[in-house]
A and B are shown apart, each in its own frame.
Chain A
Amino acid sequence: MGKRVGMEVAIAAAEAAALCKFDVASVYPITPQSHVAEHLADIVNDGRVDASFITVESEHSALSSAMGASATGARVVTATSSQGLLYMGEVMPITSSMRLPIVMLIANRAISGPINIWNDHSDIMPMRDTGWISFFAENGQEVVDMTIQAFRVGEDRRVMLPVNVNMDGFQLPHMVEPIFFPDQEEVDRFLPEYVPYATLHPDRPVSMGTLGMPEIYAEAQKAKDVAVVNSIKVVKEVWKEWEKLFGRKYEPIQSYRTRDADVALVTMGSMGETAEIAVDALRKQGVKAGLLKIKLWRPFPFAELKKAVKGIRVLAVTDRACSFGGPGGPVCSEIRSALYEESVRPAIVNYLIGLGGRDVQAEDFMEMVRRAAKGKLSEPYEFYGVRG
């Protein structure tokens, strides 16, 4: 029944992909994702998986060749970060439109400029509307679990969409963590062989990536939207099955001590664990604090959010990316919009935190909760801890 090992999370992510027996890895290295790329190359070189590693000259080529491989029916993994993800940007919506279930491991890193290699979510946020399913992992274990789940969800005939697994750069890929790995047989049972809807094959002609004129483009986009929206059912079903098999629970929004919470923090990614420490400390002081952790960013879990915020007076939503000149951080504007129609809804404050790798400690989250208790900040969104 699996084994527990201490392993660098980037290596573990590649190992998880190996357990999924990928056929093709097409990756261009970039900090802080490089160890994922290097270890995938090692795995292929050592013959541990019957797979090809495509060495490419850029991320644009990495995702393009991943798409080509996926179109032939291969199980494909890629990985990137920051500028590399932006460079893949042109190909991102095509991958989802062609319904190719590629899995992408993203070591989230700030985008330039100024040039910054450290962690925040400004790389994935511009990719929000590309039609990919987006998971956000909180720790190394979740990176491994979500990588395996991603193939299963994406390849499901009811879904057929690419999935990205987001791990906070450095905070996750560069840490050595204790991680439970399922056995190969367990993964084989959970993840059957990929049976593609269609493949490029001369005996069965098919055109993929065709022209969509004004007469059909809107219908194509509607069909894609329905596919992304409906994929949440499969995500939840797969997560339930995972919990039954491996005992680790996954939910689109995970609540922590919110049953009687007055003020609840909202986090996405690795900061959830730090926020938990803050909530525990506040509870000791008699402050009714709670925490909502978003694990599924796309499709956005609207129903789950509405259920999770019941009874909460103030939400302190943290964002790790800016939307310059916009209504606040991208997570907060989603949440505000999701709750607008509700007759009873919490007050919402928005903190932009941890930008470009700025450290956020439990004490910071405690301070955020204390100040959020008023239900309003002096500005619509606050760059928490910014000097000046």
Chain B
Amino acid sequence: MSEKKWPETWQEVNPGCMVFRPGSAAAYHTGSWRAMRPIWDNVKCIKCGVCYIYCPEGCVTEDADGFFEANLDYCKGCGICAHECWPGAIKMVNEED
């Protein structure tokens, strides 16, 4: 059963717009906002984790080898990781490319 993202009618809005389902924000995929996406060059990457620390969405994760990638369901393409990455291992590319 697919869960509704928001109430259909005003009558269904909880008082105070309260949300009783914990973690419901995860259902909202902010990745749809993205115009550019980050690409990691693992040759240049020194595994410092600055991208992981600076990602305002918390969507950068570390893989088993210690390299990093973004969860594209949530990455808004803000480019902060690429800006902060001092070895220059992250490049922002257009979504269409």
A contact set with B: CB distance below 8 Å:
97-100, 160, 197-198, 205-210, 212-213, 215-216, 218-220, 222-223, 226-227
A213 to B17, CA, bound (A): 12
Q: Cβ of A206 and Cβ of B19 under 8 Å apart?
A: yes
User: How many cross-chain pairs have Cβ atoms below 8 Å apart between A and B?
Assistant: 57
Minimum CB distance partner of A98 in chain B:
B16
Contacts of B13 in A (CB 8 A): 216, 219-220, 223
A13 to B11, CA, bound (A): 37
A121 to B9, CA, bound (A): 37
Q: Mark B66-92, 1 if CB is under 8 A from A, else 0.
A: 000000000000000000000000000
B33 to chain A, nearest CB (A): 12
A198 to B18, CA, bound (A): 9
Q: Add 13 more A-B contacts to A97-B16, A210-B19 (CB < 8 A).
A: A98-B17, A100-B16, A197-B18, A198-B16, A198-B18, A205-B22, A207-B24, A216-B6, A216-B7, A216-B17, A219-B7, A220-B13, A223-B10
A213 to B6, CA, bound (A): 9
Minimum CB distance partner of A208 in chain B:
B18
Q: Mark B17-48, 1 if CB is under 8 A from A, else 0.
A: 11110101000000000000000000000000
Contacts of B19 in A (CB 8 A): 206-207, 210
Q: Cβ of A219 and Cβ of B16 under 8 Å apart?
A: no
Contacts of B9 in A (CB 8 A): 219
Contacts of A219 in B (CB 8 A): 6-7, 9-10, 12-13
Q: Cβ of A226 and Cβ of B10 under 8 Å apart?
A: yes
Q: Cβ of A206 and Cβ of B18 under 8 Å apart?
A: yes
Contacts of A220 in B (CB 8 A): 10, 13, 17
A250 to B67, CA, bound (A): 70
A-side interface mostly: loop
Q: Can you list 20 A-B contacts (CB < 8 A)?
A: A97-B16, A98-B18, A160-B16, A197-B18, A205-B22, A206-B18, A206-B19, A208-B16, A210-B17, A213-B6, A215-B6, A218-B10, A219-B9, A219-B10, A219-B12, A220-B13, A223-B11, A223-B13, A226-B10, A227-B15
Q: Cβ of B15 and Cβ of A99 under 8 Å apart?
A: yes
Closest CB pairs A-B (n = 8): A99-B16, A222-B10, A219-B10, A205-B22, A207-B19, A223-B13, A216-B6, A98-B16
Among B12, B15, B24, the residue within 8 A (CB) of A160 is B15
Contacts of B5 in A (CB 8 A): 215
A251 to B88, CA, bound (A): 71
A195 to chain B, nearest CB (A): 14
Contacts of B10 in A (CB 8 A): 218-220, 222-223, 226
Knowing A160-B15, A223-B11 are in contact, say whether A206-B20 is a contact too (CB < 8 A).
yes
A205 to B21, CA, bound (A): 7
Contacts of A226 in B (CB 8 A): 10
A208 to B19, CA, bound (A): 7
Minimum CB distance partner of A204 in chain B:
B20
A216 to B7, CA, bound (A): 7
Contacts of A212 in B (CB 8 A): 17
A374 to B16, CA, bound (A): 49
Contacts of B11 in A (CB 8 A): 223
A99 to B14, CA, bound (A): 10
B31 to chain A, nearest CB (A): 15
A221 to chain B, nearest CB (A): 8
A215 to B10, CA, bound (A): 11
A258 to chain B, nearest CB (A): 38
